[in-house]
Amino acid sequence: MDFSIDMLSLGNADCNIIWTKANNSDFVTIIDGGNPKDAKTIIEHYESYIKPNIASNSPILIINTHPHSDHIGGLIDLVHYFKNQIQRFYYNDPTDYIAEAKRNEIRSLNESYMYSNKRVQKLFASLQQSDNLSDVLNQYGISKLEAFSDNKLEHDLFEFVGPSRTFYLEQLGYFTNINNLKTSGSNIQSESEINELQEGLNSCKIVDEKNDASAENLTSVLTKFIDSSNRKYLFTADAGVDSFESAENNGYDIRNLHICQLPHHGSRRNISTNWISNFNPKQFWVSANGSKKHPRKAVISCIKKNLSECNTYSTHKGGKKHINSKSNLFPERNWGSAEPI
């Protein structure tokens, strides 16, 4: 198998399109759909660079890594666009695992003057978007397929290396805990307090201060592709250190990659010096808007200190990113060379 891979430029939102050639057939895998407004950009990209070069009935596979708006938002419009060309839709829908009584409690918190906070509002919005997506999938008779590493896929186009069902349900229990949701405090340093001089001098120390990715982000689906040269590509969405450790503890090989997506738009909360070295990719890719936190300067500096031969490419610098795993197999784009950050 070989791939034509695009990471679209959507600011702090994710959409990766992997056009695969396998067994003389074409398959298109779309990982996440950005925010609602991004569907138009995704469709235009597909129509410009992929659709003219594949059969009209080529299978579309869609993966939603987790139901935050910057990952799930554009998928409803993508389902309306592709309709029954979608042959697989992988999605761990939290509403399938939350009892109605718990959902009512979350709804009450969201409506409460005393207890409504950003975490509650974000969770409630995720549940609503999950419901909306499920309704559209039902409209076209498209089944939701679980994206757990325990589940055996009916193809070898890619594999899910995380989360396991056990890990997912454990994290789900954390981020739907009513007592936790009532506490709105945050230990995340605001952008205005970031000292860029310290970022350069103490980058790895800052990266390792606290890997406090949210439980919702830790449930992100980890998807691995392997090309005909046995090179590995890992798409991480908003996963974090606990996600990677769980995948490795479950026996999955996620070290020494060819390309690795920096998790959560390059946030320092979702990576560590140890995992920068474990991944050890030829390239890191990141979808980010170029703010102080995304991608975080300390993360980029720590990568340079530990992996001198590894370049990091961000969508905020030069826009969408593209690579073919094998030359002369996919149409040439004639784009300029990407510039690392």
For the chain, percent of residues with pLDDT exceeding 70: 97
Q: pLDDT tens digits, residue range 95-148? A: 999 999 999 999 999 999 888 899 899 999 999 999 999 999 999 999 999 999
Residue 175, CB-side half-sphere exposure with 13 Å CA sphere? 25
Do 14 and 65 touch, CB atoms closer than 8 A? Answer: yes
Gyration radius from the chain CA atoms: 19
The pTM assigned to this predicted structure is 0.95
Cα 210 to Cα 187: distance, rounded to the nearest angstrom: 10
Question: For 21-38, b where at least 16 C-beta lie within 10 A, e where not — what string?
Answer: beeeebbbbbbbbbbbeb
What's the order of all strands across the beta sheet hosting 25-31?
Answer: 144-145, 86-91, 60-64, 25-31, 16-22, 2-7, 321-324
Cα 277 to Cα 255: distance, rounded to the nearest angstrom: 8
Main-chain phi, psi angles of 141, to 5 degrees: 70, 30
Q: What separation in angstroms does the CA of 261 have from each of 14, 57, 189, 219, 340?
A: 10, 29, 23, 16, 14
CATH of the domain at 117: 3.60.15.10
Taking phi first (over 0 means left), then psi (-120 to 50 degrees means alpha), and beta for anything else, what does residue 334 get? left
Q: What separation in angstroms does the CA of 321 have from each of 19, 114, 265?
A: 14, 45, 14
Which contacts (CB < 8 Å, 24+ apart) does range 243-248 have? Answer: 243/162, 243/163, 243/167, 243/213, 243/218, 243/219, 244/162, 244/275, 244/278, 246/162, 246/163, 246/164, 246/167, 247/149, 247/161, 247/162, 247/163, 247/222, 248/278
330 found inside a domain? no
Residues 6 or more apart from 194 whose CB is under 8 A from it? 292, 293, 297
Query: Residue 187 pLDDT more than 90?
Result: no
190 found inside a domain? no
Number of independent structural domains in the chain:
1
**Region 185-213 average pLDDT:** 73
* pLDDT score, position 141: 97
* Res. 188 pLDDT band, cuts 50 70 90: very low
The amino acid occupying position 311 is: N
What's the order of all strands across the beta sheet hosting 232-235?
Answer: 159-162, 222-226, 232-235, 259-261, 283-286, 311-314
* Torsion angle (degrees, nearest 10) of CA 30, 300, 297, 38: -10
276 found inside a domain? yes
**Region 82-104 average pLDDT:** 96
341 found inside a domain? no
183 found inside a domain? no
Residues 6 or more apart from 256 whose CB is under 8 A from it? 232, 279, 280, 281
Q: What is the mean pLDDT of the chain?
A: 94
188 found inside a domain? no
* pLDDT score, position 195: 77
* pLDDT score, position 184: 60
333 found inside a domain? no
Q: What separation in angstroms does the CA of 240 have from each of 46, 85, 141, 236, 300?
A: 29, 33, 33, 8, 16
278 found inside a domain? yes
* pLDDT score, position 186: 45
Main-chain phi, psi angles of 51, to 5 degrees: -50, -40
Structural domain that includes position 230: 2-178+195-324
* pLDDT score, position 190: 54
Residue 193, CB-side half-sphere exposure with 13 Å CA sphere? 4
Q: pLDDT tens digits, residue range 297-334? A: 999 999 999 999 999 999 999 999 999 999 899 999 98
Do 98 and 175 touch, CB atoms closer than 8 A? Answer: no
